Amino acid sequence: MAPAAAATEVEVDAWAARDTSGHLSPFTFSRRATGPGDVKFKILFCGVCHSDLHQIHNDWGNSIYPMVPGHEMVGEVTEVGSEVKAFKVGEIVGVGCLVNSCQTCDPCTQHLEQYCGKKVWTYTDKDYDGTITQGGYSTIMVCRQEFVLKMPTNLPLDAAAPLLCAGITVYSPMKHFQMDVAGKHFGVVGLGGLGHMAVKFGKAFGMTVTVFSTSPSKEKEARELLGADRFIASKDPEQMKAAAGSIDYIIDTVSAAHPLDLYLSTLKLDGKLVMVGIPEKPLSIHAFSLTSARRYVGGSGIGGIKETQEMLDFCGEHNITCLIEKIPISYINTAMERLGKSDVKYRFVIDIANSLKSED
């Protein structure tokens, strides 16, 4: 009888950035053999988040090269470890921004793994076994089962992939900061990947939604495709002035430095502004913007795994997906340039299965 095949590492085709120029090019690396608690899957689609653009350029100062970005990946399970009961071969799954955490600290026991001091990001981080994590611009993923999500079966997979970061990053603060109250007035600053999902959730929660955008060309679609009730060209001082004191809560998704006081002035008494965008430079706030109407400013990072699953199920029930532009991997450098210019409606998603070869 032939001996059982030893578990071996798997060769993965990918595209990686090699330095702070951020230029991506073909790259091959190994992922670990599927361990007892691991799920292995063939990646079908991966979204392109603005965080990928920040990371390939080392905007946040923690990048590790070569770097395979991508934390909005979906695919089909090809192997599960002996201890895995919740996932089966053939099932469609996803992985977002996290691949590991300690599972025992306060945040972890509250299902807030994103705030664990020992969390491991999906790429450009060091995993517990010492390997450098690599993301979803690649053909195959191996992930510990606790960080694998079940994708809703009724949603198109390409348009559902960005829910794994863009979706949860706005859904989580909307829930946590109670910015999901029907009838209230919700403002979304920046109509990109995160922002357009915030508009969709705002409408699903029954709120009146105002979009603040620096791109007047986005108005028609914001109203007609996303259902926004009001569109404010944020560079027009008259439009900003007219909105003063009209909004209950704002989610700010902007990726670059911008004047926060202007947006705070549009909040009512006790209004809240929650930052999810992460500009590379610090933002400034005049204290009067807060004290004059008892306003709050907060922040939020992605979401825990349990809440991400809840958000995916909610999207399945309400048929919520992202508006995407599907691209082959060969277009990624152009896509990154366009993303830097806010020229995408509203998320690039890489068709991995049809544009990157996979051996497995």
- Which residues are near ligand NAP by CB under 6 A? 49-51, 54, 165-166, 169, 190-195, 213-215, 218, 253-256, 258, 276-278, 300-302, 339, 342
Q: How far is the CB of 50 from ligand NAP (least distance, A)?
A: 3
* Among ligand NAP, Zn ion, none, residue 94 binds (CB under 5-8 Å by kind): none
142 vs 191 by CB, closer to ligand NAP:
191
Q: How far is the CB of 202 from ligand NAP (least distance, A)?
A: 15
Q: Which residues contact 96 (CB under 8 A, 6 or more apart)?
A: 71, 72, 122, 147, 149, 164, 165, 168, 302, 308
User: Across 191-277, where does the E strand assignment appear?
Assistant: 208-213, 230-233, 247-252, 267-275
Q: Which residues contact 291 (CB under 8 A, 6 or more apart)?
A: none
- Between strands 267-275 and 247-252, the pairing is parallel
Q: How far is the CB of 196 from Zn ion (least distance, A)?
A: 14
Q: Which of 24, 48, 51, 314 lies at the binding interface for Zn ion (CB under 5 A)?
A: 51
- Which two tokens mark 317? 């029930």
Report which residue type is found at 96.
G
Contact 190, 233 (CB under 8 A): no
9 vs 337 by CB, closer to ligand NAP:
337
Q: What is the C-alpha R_g of the chain?
A: 21
Q: Which of 12, 49, 254, 329 lies at the binding interface for Zn ion (CB under 5 A)?
A: 49
49 vs 68 by CB, closer to Zn ion:
49
Q: How far is the CB of 80 from ligand NAP (least distance, A)?
A: 29
Report which residue type is found at 8.
T
Q: How far is the CB of 335 from ligand NAP (least distance, A)?
A: 11
* Among Zn ion, ligand NAP, none, residue 92 binds (CB under 5-8 Å by kind): none
CA angle at 108 for the pair 105 and 114, rounded to the nearest 5° = 120
Q: How far is the CB of 144 from ligand NAP (least distance, A)?
A: 20
Task: Report the alpha-carbon distance of residue 257 to residue 238 in Å, rounded.
Answer: 21
Does residue 101 bind Zn ion (CB under 5 A)? no
Ranges within 156-175 binding Zn ion (CB under 5 A): 165
Does residue 276 bind Zn ion (CB under 5 A)? no
150 forms bridges with which residues in the sheet?
93
Cis bond before residue 66 (omega within 30° of 0): yes
11 vs 229 by CB, closer to ligand NAP:
229
39 vs 260 by CB, closer to ligand NAP:
260
Strand, coil or helix: what is 22?
A: coil
* Among ligand NAP, Zn ion, none, residue 142 binds (CB under 5-8 Å by kind): none
Task: Report the alpha-carbon distance of residue 142 to residue 78 in Å, rounded.
Answer: 10
40 vs 218 by CB, closer to ligand NAP:
218
Interface with Zn ion: number of residues (CB under 5 A): 3
Contact 121, 101 (CB under 8 A): no
Q: How far is the CB of 122 from ligand NAP (least distance, A)?
A: 12
Contact 132, 143 (CB under 8 A): no
* Among ligand NAP, Zn ion, none, residue 255 binds (CB under 5-8 Å by kind): ligand NAP
* Among ligand NAP, Zn ion, none, residue 194 binds (CB under 5-8 Å by kind): ligand NAP
Rounded alpha-carbon distances, angstroms, from residue 200 to 47, 81, 134, 203, 264? 18, 37, 30, 5, 22
Cis bond before residue 346 (omega within 30° of 0): yes
10 vs 197 by CB, closer to ligand NAP:
197
Give the interface with Zn ion as residue ranges (CB under 5 A): 49, 51, 165
